Amino acid sequence: MSEAATTEAAAQGELGTVVIGGGLAAAHCIHELREGGYAKPITLISSENEVPYERPPLSKEFLQGSKPALELEPFPGSWYTDADIAMRLGTTAESIDTAAKTVSLSDSSTLGYENLVIATGCRSRLGGRNANMTGWDLPGVYTLRSLEDSKAIKEQLVSGKHLVIIGAGWIGMEVGASARAAGLEVTVLTPDQVPLAVAMGSEFGSHVAQLHVANGVQCHFGTGVTGIAADPGKGLVVQTPTGDIPADLVLLAIGAVPNNELAVAAGLEVGSGVVVDQRLRSSDKSILAIGDIAEAYNTTLGRNMRVEHWDNAIRQGKLAAATILGRDQSYDWLPYFFTDQFDLGMEYVGDRQAEDDVVVRGDMASGEFIIFWLRQGVITAAMNVNIWDVNDHLRSMISKNIPVATLQDTGNDLMAL
């Protein structure tokens, strides 16, 4: 669609699509809209000052200095200009009037919409199981969600400093690996017995723990934190029931919470996130929600789910565009995610539940293996660790009923299973 045509539409006061949020889901939604021939005005409202960028490298390559900020952008800044997207960067959406179909912004302006897409993502959790923890707001205590956060942490990644990470989820463990690569002393604290316990279970969690210990990370598992205090002239101390741990900097990595306040105040149905159907439409049919914020109905799994992963943000951004364009598509794919820590790279696909049986193919000690999760003999999820170009095939194996011995036998060609 030509720029002249969309500008003319806006000049005639034609209502179009307003997207709240400047993350990956938002970027892919508006990109797909224009690629699909959407000619009406599109406005992107983002609290951040940057054009949308990818967050996964913020705890990995960007933090380690091997990927510059410009390479994080899925579409260059010039694309938004060329595609005639009205960019309202550094601007926060403060309220939605569903009756008037308007959004009020922090610069006191109001925008009308025909379709509104909420893509407000998540923010770092500050409480959680550490709800009574004091000192999380002291200088030197960081959270990691944005490019700005990653830049601030990167400045402190000076060899010899001591970083204490509270939380042993994906972001905590990834930053731990990046900080060790920069020569810092790293301590990780979690009340769980292994890292990633909730997400991946104890088998893979133990493997990740061994990897970090082997790379010099001090792991204090089964250890909660009661508070963080300033130690004048010395830095910080992290207080635990078993004693104080001195730190030059602290990363609070205890999870994320969805930015769903706008949706709640607007009267939309909100559960673990904004509740949307398989086409990502909320309880108000002119409002869609996508990415980390969306609790969407997955037609393959037959239930609602909210997924905080990169692949989902991209796919749901495109699906919301398809819905607005009137295409008959739905949320039918399985969750996928990846991580990189030290020399471990992995990809996961599927819908593992805590009670599923675990089947390992290969020798975990070698660092190259595949884990399958099975429920009553049926594969529910799979993960390839340091074995590449197999994840699409693993995806095709989900729902199959393959004997455990066949899965485990590395003499069987995986691609033939």
Ligand X SMILES: Cc1cc2nc3c(=O)[nH]c(=O)nc-3n(C[C@H](O)[C@H](O)[C@H](O)COP(=O)(O)OP(=O)(O)OC[C@H]3O[C@@H](n4cnc5c(N)ncnc54)[C@H](O)[C@@H]3O)c2cc1C
Place of tokens 């009037």: 97
Q: Is 240 helix (H, G, I), strand (E, B) or coil?
A: strand
Residues 158-187 that bind ligand X (CB under 6 A): 171
Is 338 a binder of ligand X (CB under 6 A)?
A: yes
Q: Cα 353 to chain center, whole Å? A: 19
48 in contact with ligand X (CB under 6 A): yes
At closest approach, how far in Å is the CB of 21 from ligand X? 3
- Shortest separation between residue 147's beta carbon and ligand X, angstroms: 10
Q: Give the β-pairing of 185-190 and 218-221.
A: parallel
Q: Which of 62/373 has CB closer to ligand X?
A: 62
- Asked if 22 interacts with ligand X (CB under 6 A), we say yes
Q: Which is nearer to ligand X, 16 or 291 (CB)?
A: 291
Of the pair 121, 240, the CB lying nearest ligand X is at 121
Residue 120 binding ligand X, by CB under 6 A: yes
Closest CA to 310 of 181, 174, 415, 215: 174
Q: Tell me which of 130, 304, 330, 339 binds ligand X, using CB under 6 A.
A: 339
- What phi and psi values does residue 289 have, to the nearest 5 degrees? -135, 140
Give CA–CA dist 356/338, Å, rounded.
20
Query: Residue from 16, 21, 169, 205 that binds ligand X (CB under 6 A)?
Result: 21
The answer to whether 275 contacts ligand X (rule: CB under 6 A) is no
Single-letter residue type at 53: Y
CA 219/CA 341 separation, integer angstroms: 15
Rounded Cα–Cα distance for residues 143 and 55 (Å): 13
For position 347 contacting ligand X by CB under 6 A, the verdict is no
106, amino acid identity: S
CA nearest to 303, candidates 246, 358, 353? 353
CA distance 135 to 8: 53
Q: Is 168 exposed, middle or buried (0-12, 13-18, 19+ CB in 10 A)?
A: buried
Least Å from the CB of residue 353 to ligand X: 19
The residue within the footprint of ligand X, chosen from 18, 19, 20, 217 (CB under 6 A), is 20
Residue 59 found at the interface with ligand X (CB under 6 A): yes
Stretch of 179-187, 192-200, 304-312, 358-366 contacting ligand X, by CB under 6 A:
304-312
- Among 38, 204, 297, 337, indicate the residue that binds ligand X (CB under 6 A): 337
Residue 47 sits in the site that holds ligand X (CB under 6 A):
yes
The one among 125, 129, 161, 309 contacting ligand X by CB under 6 A: 309
Question: Helices in 247-403 by DSSP H: which ranges?
Answer: 261-265, 310-324, 391-397
Considering the rule CB under 6 A, would residue 24 count as an interface residue with ligand X? yes
Determine, following the binding rule CB under 6 A, whether residue 297 of this chain makes contact with ligand X: no
CA 280: distance to chain centroid? 18
Contact 43, 350 (CB under 8 A): no
Nearer to ligand X, 17 or 120 (CB): 120
Name which position in 83, 111, 116, 122 contacts ligand X (CB under 6 A). 122
Are 238 and 244 in contact by the 8 Å Cβ rule? The answer is yes
Positions in 139-158 near ligand X (CB under 6 A)? 144-145
Q: Segment contacting ligand X (CB under 6 A): 47-55, 130-138, 322-330, 402-410?
A: 47-55
Write out the H or E segment, with its range, that includes residue 132. Answer: none
Report the interface residues with ligand X, using CB under 6 A. Answer: 20-26, 45-48, 55-56, 58-59, 92-93, 119-122, 144-145, 171, 259, 262, 291-293, 308-311, 313, 337-339
